Amino acid sequence: MKGTMLVMIAADGNVIRTDLDAPPDLATLQTTVGGYLEKVPHFNSIEYQGAVRRCVALCNEEGKLDRPSPLPRNLLADQYWAQAMQRDYGVRNPMPDYLVGNIVILFGDPEFMESL
């Protein structure tokens, strides 16, 4: 089983890649996004290193709520999400929503994807 976890960091636009032999555990994912997990709807593919891969994208379920303040917008993740919507669904209009905080994207071999 082989997989990859990309973390798109909202604060600085960096991407952190981690190669995996098993899916990350719930605690790791929650720590990475800073709260409860929500699957990003219609973010089902990513073009990475020249190949389009099936993926699962996760965000902080409460990232837009006014705690002391909402999490910062993640412009890089927004771009990848818009590309997935266009590639998978033919959507070319501006996105009706946006992503905030760190975004986790998981992809890998069929066994890895089945285990998510």
pLDDT tens sequence across 28-60:
999 999 999 999 999 999 999 999 999 999 999
Q: What percentage of the chain carries pLDDT values higher than 70?
A: 98
How large is the average pLDDT for residues 102-110? 98
Q: Which of 94, 85, 93, 86 is nearest to 40 (CA)?
A: 85
Q: For position 69, what pLDDT does the model report?
A: 83
Q: In this model, does residue 96 exceed pLDDT 90?
A: no
What's the mean pLDDT in 7-25?
A: 96
Is 70 a residue whose pLDDT tops 70? yes
Which strand (E) or helix (H) includes residue 85? helix 75-89
What was the pLDDT predicted at 94? 66
Whether the CB-CB separation of 106 and 8 falls below 8 Å is answered with no
**95 pLDDT more than 80:** no
Instruction: Report residue 104 as tokens.
Output: 């986790």
50 φ/ψ sector (left φ>0, alpha ψ -120 to 50, else beta) = left
> Taken in order 9, 21, 30, 107, is the CA torsion positive or negative?
positive
State the pTM of this model: 0.94
Strand stretches in 23-95, DSSP E: 37-39, 45-48, 51-54, 56-60
Task: Please give the Cα distance from 46 to 92 (Å, whole number).
Answer: 16
Q: What is the mean pLDDT of residues 79-106?
A: 90
Going from N- to C-terminal start, the domains of the chain cover 3-115
